[in-house]
């Protein structure tokens, strides 16, 4: 047997069972990852179609632009007797702001010259209560414009209006905009017979609506259609300061230029690399990848049950959050502590480069490092030694660095099947075990 073969991790049922034993009681549920639907006959398919099992019920409406601001401020009495908005323009799960004043101005110019504007899509989550599914940026731009919150800029055909707010426009121009309408398509409450089916159909609509243009990232779609207690927790935890710093996410991200090629990064000086990391962090924030990373940490605890490994990670996260939103509140509080404690430990032990492979030329954090590192650091057997590992952090760093160098192919990001996932868990866990053995 060669030296290399002796060093390769051997992952079997015992290793996966050890991970299973670390699950909390509320997590020990099957998400039916391996199930596949039986093939239906033509007769069964025809019957399903006639019954309308999967059919979206919609109606259309037109809203005058001059009434958008008032419409979005309309309040009604909720179930608890408190006032709430009839139209949820900015539900917490929607995508983060991306439009600049120039892009908002272009929308206003489209109405000025009567260019057709795509309809907005609303979801009737309760009787006569609506969430904005698609079109939030358009409605936000119109609301801001009528509230005099920005001046027009960068217009192509009406450049003479640059620098003017709504109240400063010539009267006839103002009247012309006021008489325009924006169309809407409303998915009615009776579209789905259950919350699960409603979520499935909303996800379908999101994916079809965003097949072109600025496409919704996986987490933006997931947050929109699977909003619930676990989703809200992930949103909260993504604001963890140490977590943001380890991923290079600025506190107040603003749009910047597109990112440079990763392959070129190691040839650049430190200031240039820092700029690249900042732009990458901003991009992550805009696409809500930071929220997805929090969800990944929780879902990854059950990765041993998902035989596709990371090859179908989006499907894995979808299925997990559906069930995770049903977890008890006491369980979610344990999740909160688990995440914060793990991030705090890694920050104190490894610093802002925790999720890199710990080499000077590779300064970007990667998910292929993040997943097993968070998984191993949260292992109860490792948590017992957190304080001592922090005191002896150089030994831990040296063990991890040596392991990354030895298993560089495994952590290259190209190996994502089930066995590779388990091998990485094993490698990182062994590095922790080796560090603990040296400091006892």
164 and 101 together in one domain: yes
Of 161, 187, 213, the one marking the end of a domain is 187
For residue 192, being part of any structural domain is answered with no
Residue ranges of the chain whose pLDDT lies below 50:
1-15, 93-94, 212-213, 255-273, 276
Surface-to-core class of residue 392, CB atoms within 10 Å of its CB (0-12 exposed, 13-18 middle, 19+ buried): middle
Of 138, 172, 187, the one marking the end of a domain is 187
Query: What's residue 40's pLDDT?
Result: 78
Query: What's residue 15's pLDDT?
Result: 47
Of 164, 187, 210, the one marking the end of a domain is 187
Which is nearest to 423 in space by CA: 364, 375, 363, 362? 375
Question: What is the C-alpha to C-alpha distance for residues 28 and 116, in angstroms, rounded to an integer?
Answer: 52
163 and 234 together in one domain: no
Q: How many domains does the chain have?
A: 2
Phi and psi (nearest 5°) for 76?
A: -135, 165
22 and 66 together in one domain: no
233 and 357 together in one domain: yes
Query: What's residue 23's pLDDT?
Result: 85
374 and 319 together in one domain: yes
β-bridge mates for residue 336, sequence order: none
For residue 93, being part of any structural domain is answered with yes
Question: What is the C-alpha to C-alpha distance for residues 293 and 160, in angstroms, rounded to an integer?
Answer: 46
For residue 210, being part of any structural domain is answered with no
How many CB atoms sit inside 10 A of residue 213's CB?
8
Query: What's residue 366's pLDDT?
Result: 93
HEC string for the chain: CCHHHHHCCCCCHHHHHHHHHCCCHHHCCCCCCCCCCCCCCHHHHHHHHHHCCCCCCEEEEEEEHHHHHHHHHCEEECCCCCEEECEECCCCCCCCCCCCHHHHHHHHHHHHCCCCCCCEEEEEEECCEEEEEECHHHHHHHHHHHCCCCCCCCCCCCHHHCCCCHHHCCHHHHHHHHCCEEEEEEECHHHCCCHHHHHHHHHHHHHHHCCCCCCCCHHHHHHHHCCCHHHHHHHHHCCCHHHHHHCCCCCCCCCCCCCCCHHHHHHCCHHHHHHHHHHHHHHHHHCCHHHHHHHHHHHHHHHHHCCCCCCCHHHHHHHHHHHHCCCCHHHHHHHHHHHHHHHHHHHHHHHHHCCCCCECCECCCCHHHHHHHHHHHCCHHHHCCHHHHHHCHHHHHHHHHHHHHHCCCCCCCCCCCHHHHHHHHHHHHHHHHHHHHHHC
Question: What is the C-alpha to C-alpha distance for residues 240 and 311, in angstroms, rounded to an integer?
Answer: 28
Which is nearest to 71 in space by CA: 122, 118, 23? 122
Query: What's residue 225's pLDDT?
Result: 72
Region label for 135, one of left (φ > 0), alpha (ψ between -120 and 50) or beta (otherwise): left
Question: What is the C-alpha to C-alpha distance for residues 370 and 356, in angstroms, rounded to an integer?
Answer: 8
233 and 131 together in one domain: no
To the nearest 10 degrees (0 to 180), the angle between helices 329-350 and 393-406 is 90
Region label for 157, one of left (φ > 0), alpha (ψ between -120 and 50) or beta (otherwise): alpha
Query: What's residue 26's pLDDT?
Result: 86
For residue 350, being part of any structural domain is answered with yes
Distance spanning both ends of the chain, measured CA to CA: 31
Q: What is the pLDDT of residues 299-344, one digit of tens each?
A: 999 988 888 888 888 889 988 998 899 999 999 999 999 999 999 9
Question: What is the C-alpha to C-alpha distance for residues 190 and 295, in angstroms, rounded to an integer?
Answer: 30
For residue 199, being part of any structural domain is answered with no
Degrees (nearest 5) of the Cα angle 237, 300, 96? 40
19 and 96 together in one domain: no
Q: Do residues 120 and 134 make contact, with C-beta atoms less than 8 angstroms apart? A: yes
285 and 419 together in one domain: yes
Strands 129-134 and 87-88 come out as parallel
383 and 253 together in one domain: yes
For residue 402, being part of any structural domain is answered with yes
For residue 200, being part of any structural domain is answered with no
What is the Cα 404 distance to its own chain's centre?
A: 27
19 and 73 together in one domain: no
Strands 181-187 and 120-126 come out as parallel
Question: What is the C-alpha to C-alpha distance for residues 384 and 378, in angstroms, rounded to an integer?
Answer: 10
Q: Which residue has the tokens 């919609």?
A: 58
Query: What's residue 209's pLDDT?
Result: 63
To the nearest 10 degrees (0 to 180), the angle between helices 218-225 and 313-324 is 20
Q: What is the pLDDT of residues 245-283, one digit of tens each?
A: 999 987 665 544 333 333 343 444 444 445 545 566 777
277 and 408 together in one domain: yes
Domain that holds residue 338: 3-27+226-439
Query: What's residue 255's pLDDT?
Result: 46
For residue 218, being part of any structural domain is answered with no
337 and 249 together in one domain: yes
């Amino acid at each position: 047997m060669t030296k290399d073969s002796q060093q390769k991790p051997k992952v079997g049922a015992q290793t996966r069972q050890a991970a299973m034993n670390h699950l909390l009681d509320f997590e020990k549920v099957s998400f039916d990852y391996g199930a596949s639907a039986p093939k239906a006959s033509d007769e069964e398919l025809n019957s399903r179609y006639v019954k309308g099992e999967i059919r979206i019920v919609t109606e259309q409406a037109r809203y005058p632009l001059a009434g958008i601001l008032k419409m979005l401020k309309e309040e009604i009495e909720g179930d608890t007797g408190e006032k709430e908005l009839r139209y949820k323009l900015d539900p917490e799960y929607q995508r983060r702001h991306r439009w600049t004043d120039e892009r908002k101005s272009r929308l206003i110019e489209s109405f000025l010259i009567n260019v057709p504007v795509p309809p907005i899509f609303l979801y009737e989550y309760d009787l006569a209560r609506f969430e904005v599914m698609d079109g939030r940026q358009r409605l936000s731009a119109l609301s801001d414009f009528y509230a005099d919150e920005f001046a027009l800029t960068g217009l192509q055909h009406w450049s003479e209006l640059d620098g003017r707010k709504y109240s400063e426009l010539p009267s006839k121009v103002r009247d012309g905009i006021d008489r325009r309408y924006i169309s809407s398509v409303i998915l009615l409450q009776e579209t789905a017979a259950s919350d699960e089916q409603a979520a499935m159909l909303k996800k379908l609509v999101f994916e079809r609506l965003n097949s072109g243009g600025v496409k919704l990232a996986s987490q933006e779609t997931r947050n929109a259609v699977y909003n619930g207690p676990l989703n809200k927790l992930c949103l909260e935890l993504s604001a963890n300061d140490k977590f943001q710093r380890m991923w290079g996410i600025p506190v107040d991200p603003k749009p910047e230029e597109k990112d440079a090629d990763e392959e070129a990064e190691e040839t650049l000086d430190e200031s240039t690399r820092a700029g690249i990391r900042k732009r990458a962090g901003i991009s992550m924030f805009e696409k809500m990848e930071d929220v997805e990373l929090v969800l990944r940490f929780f879902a990854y605890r059950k990765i041993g049950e998902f035989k596709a490994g990371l090859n179908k990670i989006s499907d894995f996260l979808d299925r997990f959050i559906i069930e995770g939103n049903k977890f008890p509140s006491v369980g979610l509080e344990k999740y909160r502590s688990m995440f914060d404690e793990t991030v705090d430990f890694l920050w104190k032990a490894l610093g802002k480069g925790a999720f890199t492979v710990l080499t000077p030329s590779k300064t970007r954090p990667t998910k292929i490092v993040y997943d097993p590192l968070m998984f191993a650091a949260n292992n109860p057997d490792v948590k017992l030694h957190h304080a001592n590992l922090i005191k002896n952090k150089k030994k831990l760093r040296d063990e991890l660095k040596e392991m990354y160098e030895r298993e560089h192919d495994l952590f290259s990001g190209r190996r994502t099947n089930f066995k590779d996932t388990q091998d990485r868990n094993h490698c990182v866990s062994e590095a922790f075990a080796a560090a603990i053995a040296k400091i006892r």
